[in-house]
Structure 1
Amino acid sequence: MRALGGEQVEEAVAGCVATLRTVVDRDWEGVDAAGLEWSCRHTAFHVAEDLIAYAGQLAGRAQDGYVPFEITLEEGTDNAGLLHVIETTGALFAATLRTTPRDVRAFHPYPFRSADREGFAAMGIAEVLLHTHDIAKSLGITYEPSEELAESVLTWLFPHVQPGPAPWPTLLWATGRGELPGRAPVTEWRWRNNLVIPTERLVLTGLRPAAARDLRLGGDGGFEWIDGGPYQGTRDAAEFMMKAYEAGVHRPEFGVFALVRRQDGRSVGGMGFHSAPDEDGRVEIGYDLVESARGQGYATEALRALAHWALARDDVQALFATVERDNTASQAVVTRAGFKKVSEEEEFAYELRRP
C-alpha cells in the first residue's frame, strides 16, 4: 500500500503554487476567497500557517494541545513572496513527515484528539487543495488537483462519506463547496482521523478505507505484520467494512482495528465490529490473530479494551460474539473478557451487557 506522506504534500503544494503564480499581479487582499470571510491573501497565508503548524505538532510530539508558536510575514511581502512561504512551509512539512516514525501520534482536536503521520499529511493536503480552490474560484482561474490526491483525502479523512462518481467533486461536496447529484447540500462538516485504543501491550488502530481496500486486495494495509499475517479473517472483515463504506453506511468508530504490538510496531491480528449498533444498542464483535501470536493473551487484552470503549458509549447497550463449537481457544477469550454464554445452537453465542 502506498503511504501518504511528503511526496503527496509536495505534489499538492506544487499544484497550488503553479496555479496561483499565474495571478500574482492581482489584488488578493481586496477579494474574499470563495465561501470564506477571509481575503484571498489571508487564505493563502492560512495554508502556510497550517503546513508549519502540522509539522510542529509532529516534530514536537505535541500531546495536549497545539505547540504555542506562529509565523508572520515580513511587512511588504508581495504575493510572489507569499507563495515562496507556502513552498517553504510545504517543504518543511514534507521533511517532517519523512522523518517521523509511523507510530507517532500528536494532538489534533477532532474527533479523537490525535492524528498519526498519515492523518497529518492528509489534513495538510486537504488544506492546500481546498483553499487553492477557494482562491482560484474567486480570482476566476481554473484549478483541479489530481484525482489521486483528492481520493487520498477522502479515504484518509472522510471515511463516513460515501464515494461519489469522482473524487474531486465528492470532496468539494463533502466540504460544502459544491453539489453532487442525488445528495443534499452539506452545510456543516468535519474530517475524521482514525480512532486508536491503547492497551498495555497493544494499540488498536482503526483502519481507514484506504487500508481496508488494500487488505481486501491482498496487501498489508500499510502495516508490518508478524510472520503469517494478516490472517484471512482480517481480510474478510476489511471487505465487509469496504462494502459498508461504498454503500455510505460505514461508521468509522465501529469499523475494524489492527492490533499493533507496542514493542515492535508489528501487527498481530484484527478485531472489530460487524456493523454499527442496532436500534436496541446491540453490536457484534469479531476478531482473529495471526497463528504465531496466539496463546499470549493478545486477543483477551484487546477484547477487554474494545468492550470497555464500546460500553462507555450511550449508543451501546450490549456486545455479542459467536464462536464455533470446536473453537475452545476463542471461547476462553470471550469468557475471560467477561462475556456470558447465551445460546448453544449451531454456534455458541456470548453476550456482554452494560452494567
Structure 2
Amino acid sequence: MHASGADQVEEAVADCVAALGAVTDRDWRAVRAGRLEWTCRETATHIASDLIAYAGQLAGRAQNAYVPFEITLEGSEEGLDPADNEGALHVITTTGALLAAAVRTTPRSVRAFHPYPFRHANREGFAAMGVTEVLLHTHDIAEGLGIGYEPPADLASFVLTRLFPQVKPGPTPWRTLLWATGRGELPGREPVTAWRWSNNPVLRSERLTLEGVTPAAAADLSLVGDGGFAWVGGAAADGTRKGAGNVVKQYEEGVFHPEWGMYVLVRREDDLAVGAMGFHGVPDGDGRVEIGYDLVAGARGQGYATEALRTLSRWALEQDGIRTVAAVVDHENVPSQNVVTRAGFTRVSEGMGQISYELLSYELRG
C-alpha cells in the first residue's frame, strides 16, 4: 500500500527520541552537531522548527511563502525557563505529532508552498521532508555526542524514493541517504558537496493536474497498486503500469529525471486519475524527446488525452534546446492517431505497423 507519510513521521520522531533520550544528561550546547556549524542544542531546535513549519504550511494552505511564525525553546519575555534536553525532545515529539496530524487531515490534492524546486509540495512531500530533517539531524547530533545511530532502513528508503529521485540506489538506503546529503561516502561515487531534494513536478491544463510520478509511486503502480491515486474505474490501465515499470528501471539505473518522467493525469473536479502520460526518457542530443500516454477505459472520449498532450508537449518545447516532441502510434489505434493530430502533431513516417508523428518547436511558436 502506498504510504502518505504520517506513520513515517511518527516513526522517525520516535526513533530520534529513543536515540537521543539516552544522552539528555550531556551538555548539548557545548558540542557541535557533526559537520554542522550548529550546536547539538541548536540542531534539536531546528528539527522541531522544521516539523512545525511543515505542519503550518499544510494546515494553513500557504501558497506563496512560509507562514510567518517561529518556535523557540529558549524561554520568552514572560520569564519562562528554557527547555532542558528532555524538554527539547518533548517539543520534537509534539511538533512531529502535529505534522503527522496535518498529513492525515490534508486532502491528497492540496499543495502548499515550499521553495525548492517547484515552489510547492503535497502532503507526502512535506512528510518526506519532515522525515529527512529528523533522520539527518538526529545523525548529526548523535555524531556530535559520540553515539551510534542508524534509523530503520524503510524510513531512509521512504525519503530516497520521494525526494531524491535522481540518486541511484546504493548498498543500503541509509548509507545512500548519508552520501546523497554530504554525510558519507559510497564506493565508486564522488563525494557530495552540495545537494537539494526534489519534490515531484506538477503541470496544469484546463481540467487536469499532471502530477509527476515519484519512484515510490511508480513502484506501487508497477506492482498493481494505486500509486496513491484514486482511479476512474478503480485501477490504472495496463499501459500506465508498464510506464511505471520503466520509471522504476530508470531509477534503479540512476538515469531517472523527474521532469522527463511519467505524469498521472488527475481530474480536478473530483481528484480522480484518468490516465498517465510521459516521456520515454530525457531528450537526445538533437533535442528530440518521445512521449506516450494511456487512459483508463472509463475516461476515454472526453478529450483528456488531447488536453494533456498539448500541455506536456508545450512545456517540453519551452525547455532550452528542445526542438521536437515525437509520438509513435500503432497503425490500428485510430483514436490515438486522432489525439496526436488534434494536439498539433504532424505525421512524418510509417512502418512496421506504426505511424510516427512530430511536433516541432517552430510550429509551437507559430
- In structure 1, C-alpha distance between the alignment counterparts of 2:219 and 2:105, rounded to whole Å: 26
Q: Which residue of 2 aligns with 1:320?
A: 326
Q: Which amino acid aligns with 1:39?
A: T
Query: What are the ranges of 5 or more consecutive residues in structure 2 without an aligned counterpart?
Result: 76-80
Matches within 5 A, 1:1-355: 1-73=1-73, 74=75, 75-227=81-233, 229-346=235-352, 347-355=354-362
CA contact (8 A) 2:2 2:220 kept: no
CA contact (8 A) 1:340 1:352 kept: yes
The alpha-carbon deviation at position 228 of structure 1 amounts to: 5.7
- In structure 2, C-alpha distance between the alignment counterparts of 1:315 and 1:145, rounded to whole Å: 42
CA contact (8 A) 2:2 2:225 kept: no
Identity percentage over the alignment? 66
Q: Deviations over 1:49-106 (max 9, x none)?
A: 0000000000010111111111122143211111111111111111111111111100
Normalising to structure 2: TM-score of the pair?
0.95
- In structure 2, C-alpha distance between the alignment counterparts of 1:116 and 1:16, rounded to whole Å: 24
Change (3 A) 1:2 1:241: closer
Greater alpha carbon shift after TM alignment, 82-91 vs 227-236: 227-236
The alpha-carbon deviation at position 350 of structure 1 amounts to: 0.6
- In structure 2, C-alpha distance between the alignment counterparts of 1:85 and 1:290, rounded to whole Å: 46
- In structure 1, C-alpha distance between the alignment counterparts of 2:67 and 2:321, rounded to whole Å: 34
Runs of 4+ in structure 1 deviating by more than 4 angstroms, as ranges, are none
CA contact (8 A) 1:229 1:268 kept: no
- In structure 2, C-alpha distance between the alignment counterparts of 1:252 and 1:315, rounded to whole Å: 18
- In structure 2, C-alpha distance between the alignment counterparts of 1:272 and 1:103, rounded to whole Å: 20
State the secondary structure of the residue aligned to 1:111.
coil
- In structure 1, C-alpha distance between the alignment counterparts of 2:234 and 2:49, rounded to whole Å: 44
- In structure 2, C-alpha distance between the alignment counterparts of 1:166 and 1:72, rounded to whole Å: 35
Q: Deviations over 1:231-263 (max 9, x none)?
A: 111111111111111111111111111111111
Q: CA RMSD in A?
A: 1.0
CA contact (8 A) 2:218 2:248 kept: yes
- In structure 2, C-alpha distance between the alignment counterparts of 1:325 and 1:76, rounded to whole Å: 72
Query: What are the ranges of 5 or more consecutive residues in structure 1 without an aligned counterpart?
Result: none
Q: Which amino acid aligns with 1:38?
A: W
Q: Which amino acid aligns with 2:30?
A: G
CA contact (8 A) 1:205 1:260 kept: yes
- In structure 1, C-alpha distance between the alignment counterparts of 2:38 and 2:287, rounded to whole Å: 43
Greater alpha carbon shift after TM alignment, 225-234 vs 297-306: 225-234
Q: Deviations over 1:198-248 (max 9, x none)?
A: 111111111110111111111111111111631111111111111111111
Q: Deviations over 1:276-303 (max 9, x none)?
A: 0011110000001011111100000000
Normalising to structure 1: TM-score of the pair?
0.98
CA contact (8 A) 1:229 1:269 kept: no
The alpha-carbon deviation at position 112 of structure 1 amounts to: 0.7
- In structure 2, C-alpha distance between the alignment counterparts of 1:211 and 1:266, rounded to whole Å: 16
Q: Which amino acid aligns with 2:128?
A: A
State the secondary structure of the residue aligned to 1:315.
coil
State the secondary structure of the residue aligned to 1:308.
helix
- In structure 2, C-alpha distance between the alignment counterparts of 1:4 and 1:323, rounded to whole Å: 35
- In structure 1, C-alpha distance between the alignment counterparts of 2:83 and 2:131, rounded to whole Å: 24
State the secondary structure of the residue aligned to 1:29.
helix
Greater alpha carbon shift after TM alignment, 2-11 vs 167-176: 2-11
